[in-house]
Amino acid sequence: MTSGECCLTGAYNRQSSTNAKTNEDLQHSLSDNSRRLLQTSDNRTQSVYLSDHVRIDTSNRLDADEDCQQSQSACDTEAHDKSGQNTFICEVCNRKFAESSRLKAHALIHSGERRFACEICDKKFTRSSDVRAHTRIHSEEKPFSCFHCDKKFKTSSDLRIHMHIHAAERPFSCQTCDKKFTTSSALRIHTRVHTGVRPFRCEICEKRFTTSTVLKTHKRIHTGQRRYSCEVCNKTFTRSSDIGTHMRTHTGERPFTCEVCDKKVAKLCNLRTHMRVHAEQAFGCEVCGKKFTQSTGLQIHMYSHTGERPFRCEICDKGFASSSKLSAHVRTHTRELPFSCAVCGEKFAQSSFLKTHARIHTGERLFSCEICDRKFTVASNLSVHMRIHSGFRPYRCELCDKTFTQSSNLRTHMRCHTGEKPFTCAVCDKKVAKLGNLRSHMRIHERE
């Protein structure tokens, strides 16, 4: 028997005896919440021990799964560290390994060598196991299922991370703010919030990012690549997760609820922003004292004082204070109406218009006057109404000095001076200055 065969036989025997002893010990040391069953693609059942990150092959034989091999190597490395026999050290980063094969695989990270290529998209990887995991992106195969919620994953490592949710385990804690995470990699990324480190740089625009995945998504802005398309309005997106969020504009779904006022929103980030309304609004305008929950909101507000309109329409050159207002304006040129009412089918250019319109069907009037208790569907209507009580009439005619509470009333009034009559009767071609006057006129024909 060769020395290599002796090592393998010894490793197998140690594995068998260690599994038997470890199984017996872990049964007593781990809680029920830390121990779960995992069904793999080849129908073998394994135990996943989250507390110790140990995986044991219950068939009492060496596991061929690549993730299991990596987990076993991690355990072997720890054992060698404690015994002082860990002799394989990376000359670049001084990381230690229990096996020379592991060191060779690790060295590829520094050399940049990627010998294993995907046969479908030709993407290259340093390890063959990474290629196998990557091909599941193309096949949509998710062989690893959660025992609790049946959620499926492409790799067993993703499943192990997910299992922390059910076990309520967040073993990795930030030393700066004490925020806890389920994985060390998530903690490592989080620490960049405190350090300001953004190691991933876009080669085109020099913008930097905290993670490589965010950089990859950002690059699609330059390439114009939008692989994901909405089946309702054909709007395209760079990320699949954006489609799920976008679909709520069509369905009206608002799965996130404020625990304070029961307001419902479509996005988790919107809920976080909304919660600041109940907390202290940290961003205050130095000119008028108005406060905002976000710095971006304050920045856009400042344009009202400076008069700056940095976002300009390429068609008519009209300027706007925010990109969202510009996007809404562009639809006046394209006549695009992507937001549809689920009740009556009426279409709108902006989701906010749809939201306001939906209150016609629900009868909901959220905004109430504190003086006369009159209720309104939108806050802007309440603001205009309050001018009745305050006597504030900010819109003045330059020809006769008559004042108005609304700009639309001033525009209608100006027709008295210009003689403009934009509304025409479809029956007799009579022209009138106001839409209300046209409706009154049409009753003449109805009586005929």
Give residues with Cβ within 8 angstroms of 68, minimum separation 6.
Answer: 46, 55, 57, 156
401 falls within a domain = no
**Domain count across the chain:** 1
**Residue 437 domain-assigned?**
no
Closest CA to 109 of 118, 97, 120, 119: 97
Question: How far, in Å, CA of 93 to CA of 163, rounded?
Answer: 31
Tokens in use for 195? 């350090």
d(CA 47, CA 289): 59
Angle of helix 128-139 relative to helix 66-83, nearest 10 degrees?
A: 150
* 244 within a domain of the structure (yes/no): no
Cα–Cα distance for residue pair 216/388, rounded to 1 Å? 54
Q: Where are the alpha helices (DSSP H) in 84-230?
A: 100-111, 128-139, 156-167, 184-195, 212-223
Backbone angles phi, psi at 155, to 5 degrees: -130, 155
DSSP states of 57-123: ETTSS----HHHHHHHHHHHHHHHHHHT---EE-TTT--EESSHHHHHHHHHHHH----EE-TTT--
Token pair recorded at residue 370: 């504190």
Q: Identify the three-state secondary structure at position 134.
A: helix
409: region left, alpha or beta (phi > 0 left; psi from -120 to 50 alpha):
alpha
pLDDT computed for residue 238 by the predictor: 74
Strand partners of residue 236: 229
Q: pLDDT at position 332, please?
A: 83
Q: Which residues contact 62 (CB under 8 A, 6 or more apart)?
A: 12, 15
In a domain, 266, yes or no: no
d(CA 268, CA 245): 10
Query: Is the C-alpha dihedral spanning 244, 246, 252, 258 positive or negative?
Result: positive
Do 401 and 410 contact (CB within 8 A), yes or no? no
How many whole angstroms separate alpha carbon 20 and alpha carbon 41? 24
The angle subtended at Cα 330 by Cα 325 and Cα 336, nearest 5°, is 115
- What sign has the CA pseudo-torsion 422, 426, 429, 432? negative
Predicted local distance difference test score (pLDDT) of residue 61: 34
pLDDT in the model for residue 70 = 38
Residue type, 85: Q
48 is a domain residue: yes
pTM over 0.85: no
Q: What's the CATH code of the domain at 37?
A: 3.30.160.60
The pLDDT assigned to 85 comes to: 58
In which element (H, E) is residue 20 found? helix 3-29
Specify if 155 maps to a domain: yes
| The pLDDT of residue 86 | 56
Is residue 180 within 8 A of residue 162, CB to CB? The reply is no
- Structure confidence at residue 405 (pLDDT): 87
Host domain of residue 45: 33-164
Sign of the torsion formed by the C-alpha atoms of 160, 161, 164 and 169: positive
16 burial via Cβ count (<10 Å: 0-12, 13-18, 19+): middle
Do the beta carbons of residue 110 and residue 92 sit within 8 Å? yes
3-state secondary structure of 362: helix
Cα separation, 145 vs 352, in Å, equals 39
Q: What is the pLDDT of residue 330?
A: 87
Ranges under pLDDT 50 in the chain: 1-82
Q: Are 35 and 23 in contact (CB under 8 A)?
A: no
What confidence score (pLDDT) does residue 334 get?
85
Is residue 180 domain-resident? no
The end-to-end CA distance of the chain, in Å, is: 113
CA 103 to CA 96: how far, in whole Å? 8
97 inside domain: yes
